[in-house]
Amino acid sequence: MAWAEQSQLDAISAESYVLMDADSGKVLKSKNMHKKLPPASMTKLMTMLLALEAIEHNQVGKSDKVIASPYAASMEGTRIYLEPGEVMNMDDMLIAMSLVSANDASVAVAEKLGGSEAAFVELMNKKAAAIGMKDSRFRNSHGLPAPGHVSSAYDMAILARYTLDNTPVLRYSSLKEHSLRQGEFPIHNSNKLLWRYEGADGLKNGYTSEAKNCLTATAKRGNLRLIVVVMGCPLKGGQTNDVINLLDYGFDNYSTQKLLSSHNVCATTRVRGGIDKEVKVLVRDDVNAIYQCNQGASFTRRQNVAGSVKAPVQRGQKLGEMEILNNGILLKKVDLVAANDVPRITWGERIMRIPGIVMIITAILIVTYIIYRRQKRATAYQPKLTIGRKE
């Protein structure tokens, strides 16, 4: 078994690769994972991330029109042959980027979102730094060769994991085919893994003579989702074979265990100045943990939750963190969040909560009403004094 596994890994031709658990970010296997190499069209995964986040934040809509500039239409390499001034909606542009790695669509989207490709590239590098991509520097939105345009297998895995967690990227990367221009321009996904591997549903392949064959891929079986990045594969199709070998290794040797169900209550936190005195603290999603099959698993949890928090509290607000350990080694961290909103209490509501205050106020109102009614009856029975002229 060990010999077969090693033979499987020895067959990998990639200059650099990473096999990562998508849930925890744990690197399961790697080679030269921080080596800076040209990422080719895997660059478009960052372009798509920014576009999908812009859609999520209502900065642009999927049906918004994107106009191809002369510069966008001039792009070489893989493209959908946009004409200067041609209009296509944002969703179709993203599909074209994902399926056929369209360089012209990438530039058109970059110009739509950034005003210019240069301004958009600044956003790409800012986002890369924000999510921990320390080996990367982008020079364009598409991935054609440019001096200093580099990334690493580890960085691309980080980008894939972040994009999977925060956007509906699989809606695009899992498509095998689509038709543009009112059905007159059919396109097919150039990621052959979708046809060859069970559970594969993305993400982005790439090729230039400088970068050679590259692929950032993901596949899911059961609760286990794996991310694989291979860079610098010398032979055509080698990137697909390398990814299959790494995915097979991952699914053969690792499994997951469900530790907690979504919305499982883990603690309560006192709320200062809130309409409620405390709020439940829970996990937002199912908590799964990966383990190596031949080593077994001994999972433990430890959590750190705020003892109190000041109102107002918003549903989903982070109030603590849970650490998942396997055999005493930290595997991952999970956010613990508020189960519901807790508005700030008003002064009127605060006064009404003082012990006995409601009874006292009620008694005062009753007494006041009784006195008022008695005074009103006494006034009604008083004789009226009439003053008139004497006859």
13 is catalytic: no
List the one residue out of 29, 70, 54 whose CA is nearest residue 226: 29
Query: Could you give the 3-state DSSP secondary structure of residue 271?
Result: strand
**Residue of 41, 69, 141, 151 marked catalytic:** 41
101 is catalytic: yes
**Burial classification of residue 283, based on how many CB atoms lie within 10 Å of its CB (0-12 exposed, 13-18 middle, 19 or more buried):** buried
- Enter the DSSP assignment of 245: H
User: How much helix, strand and coil, in percent to the nearest 5, is found in the chain?
Assistant: 35, 30, 35
Element housing 180 (H / E): strand 177-180
- Tokens at residue 107, please? 């530039």
CA distance 225 to 368: 71
**Residue of 101, 136, 151, 173 marked catalytic:** 101
174 is catalytic: no
Neighbouring residues of 222: CB distance < 8 A, sequence distance ≥ 6:
255, 256
Looking at the annotation, which residues are catalytic? Answer: 41, 44, 101
